[in-house]
Amino acid sequence: MGMELHAEQSDYAEMENVEISDTMLFYHVRGALKSAVEGDPDKYKQLVTVMGPDECLVPEKVALMVTCLKALSGSVSCLDIVHHQSLISSILKMSMWNYGTDVMDALMELVISLATFSGQYVDLCLEMLVSNFMPPDSFISLLNQSRGILRKGQVIHHVHKTLIFIAELVPLSPLRLERIITERMPHIFTKEPLILIYVENMLKLESGEIGDRVGRTMLLAIMDRLIDLDVDIAWDDILQEDFTKGIFDMELEDLEGPVDVGQQDGDELRISWMERYFSGNLNAQKLDSLMVLTFEHLNFCKESGRLRQVFDTLLQSFQQTVLTAYKSKFAQFVLFYACSLDPENCGRRFADTLFHKFKTSRYPEWRMSAVAYLASYLARAKFLPISFVAEYLESLLEWCSIYCSNQSGGINPKAHKEFYAAFQAMMYVLCFRMRSVLAVPHIRSRISKHIEDILRHPLSPLMVCLPSIVEEFLRLAKVTRLDVPDNFVSSNLLESELSMAFGGRERLDMFFPFDPCLLMRSDRFIRPNFVYWSMVRSSYDNDEDDDEGTSDEDEIEICTAGKGMNIANDGAARSYDQDLDEFDNEMSKMSITPKVAQWFGGELRTDMQMPSRIRPCPDSL
Partner 1 sequence: MEALKECCANIVVYLHPSKAKKVEASVYRQLSSLLFKFNESLDGVVLTYEPKFSSNLAKILPGIHPYFGVRFEAKLLLFHPKPDMLLEGEVVKVGQQSIHIIVLGFSSAVIADEDIREDFKYKIKHGKEVFVSRSHKKHRIKVGTTLRFSVKNFDEEILHICGSLVPSNTGSIQWLETKAEESQAYSITEKRIGNKRAAELLEPANIVSYRKKLKSENHIKKSRRSKSRDS
Tell me how far, at minimum, the Cβ of 438 lies from partner 1, in Å: 43
Q: Which helix (H) or strand (E) holds 174?
A: helix 173-183
Q: Find the helix or strand (DSSP H, E) in which 178 lies.
A: helix 173-183
Per rule CB under 8 A, is residue 1 in the interface with partner 1? no
| 119 forms part of the interface with partner 1 (CB under 8 A) | yes
Q: How far is CA 391 from CA 186, 444, 449, in A?
A: 43, 12, 15
Please report whether residue 174 would count as binding partner 1 according to CB under 8 A: no
8 Å CB contact between 453 and 399: no
Contact between 153 and partner 1 by CB under 8 A: the answer reads: no
The neighbour count for residue 407, using CB atoms within 10 Å, is 15
How near is the Cβ of 620 to partner 1 at its closest, in Å? 52
Q: For residue 608, what are the β-bridge partners?
A: none
Identify which of residues 22 and 102 has a Cβ nearer to partner 1 in the complex.
22
Query: DSSP string of 6-39?
Result: --STHHHHHHHH----HHHHHHHHHHHHHHHHTT
H-helix or E-strand spanning residue 301: helix 282-303
Compute the distance between CA of residue 425 and CA of residue 435 in angstroms, rounded to an integer.
17
Question: Rounded to the nearest 5 degrees, what angle is found at the Cα of 269, between the Cα atoms of 267 and 275?
Answer: 100
CA distance 46 to 72: 13
Contact between 118 and partner 1 by CB under 8 A: the answer reads yes
Q: Which stretch binds partner 1 (CB under 8 A): 47-55, 127-135, 170-178, 221-229?
A: 170-178
What does residue 439 show for φ and ψ, rounded to 5 degrees?
A: -70, -25
Nearer to partner 1, 124 or 608 (CB): 124
Report the nearest approach of partner 1 to the CB of residue 364 (Å): 18
Residue 118 or 279: the one with the smaller Cβ distance to partner 1 is: 118
Q: How many residues bind partner 1 (CB under 8 A)?
A: 20
**The total number of residues written for the chain in this structure:** 621
Which one of residues 18, 24, 58, 77 is an interface residue with partner 1 (CB under 8 A)? 77
| Residues near 214 by beta carbon (within 8 Å), at least 6 away in sequence | 174, 177, 178, 181, 205, 206
Can you tell me the distance from the alpha carbon of 271 to that of 194, in angstroms, rounded to the nearest whole number? 25
Compare residues 169 and 234 and give the one whose CB is closer to partner 1.
169
- Which is closer to partner 1, CB of 1 or CB of 402? 1
Q: Which is nearer to partner 1, 87 or 498 (CB)?
A: 87
Q: Which is nearer to partner 1, 111 or 587 (CB)?
A: 111
Can you tell me the distance from the alpha carbon of 284 to that of 589, in angstroms, rounded to the nearest whole number? 22
Q: Please, how many CA atoms are within 13 Å of residue 51, restricted to the half-sphere of its CB?
A: 25
Using CB under 8 A as the binding rule, whether residue 171 contacts partner 1 is answered as yes
Nearer to partner 1, 67 or 529 (CB): 67
Q: Among the residues of 280-416, which ranges form H helices?
A: 282-303, 307-317, 333-341, 348-360, 364-380, 386-405
**Sign of torsion over alpha carbons 281, 286, 292, 295:** negative
User: Is residue 24 near partner 1 by the rule CB under 8 A?
Assistant: no
Quick check: 76 binds partner 1 (CB under 8 A)? yes
Stretch that binds partner 1, among 168-176, 405-413, 499-507, 569-577 (CB under 8 A): 168-176
Name which of 118 and 272 has its Cβ closer to partner 1. 118
Is residue 74 within the footprint of partner 1 (CB under 8 A)? yes
Closest CA to 560 of 571, 569, 552, 568: 568
Stretch that binds partner 1, among 82-90, 119-127, 134-142, 504-512 (CB under 8 A): 119-127
Give min distance, CB of 306 to partner 1, in A.
24
Q: Does 360 bind partner 1 (CB under 8 A)?
A: no
Pairwise CA distance, residues 481 & 555, whole Å: 15
Which of 69-77, 208-216, 521-529, 570-578 is the region at the interface with partner 1 (rule: CB under 8 A)?
A: 69-77
Which residue, 113 or 499, is less far from partner 1 as judged by CB? 113
> Which one of residues 67, 98, 116, 588 is an interface residue with partner 1 (CB under 8 A)?
116
| 234 is a site residue for partner 1 (CB under 8 A) | no
Give the residue, chosen from 75, 132, 569, 598, that forms a contact with partner 1 under the rule CB under 8 A. 75
Residues that bind partner 1 (CB under 8 A): 74-77, 113, 116-120, 122-123, 168-173, 175-176
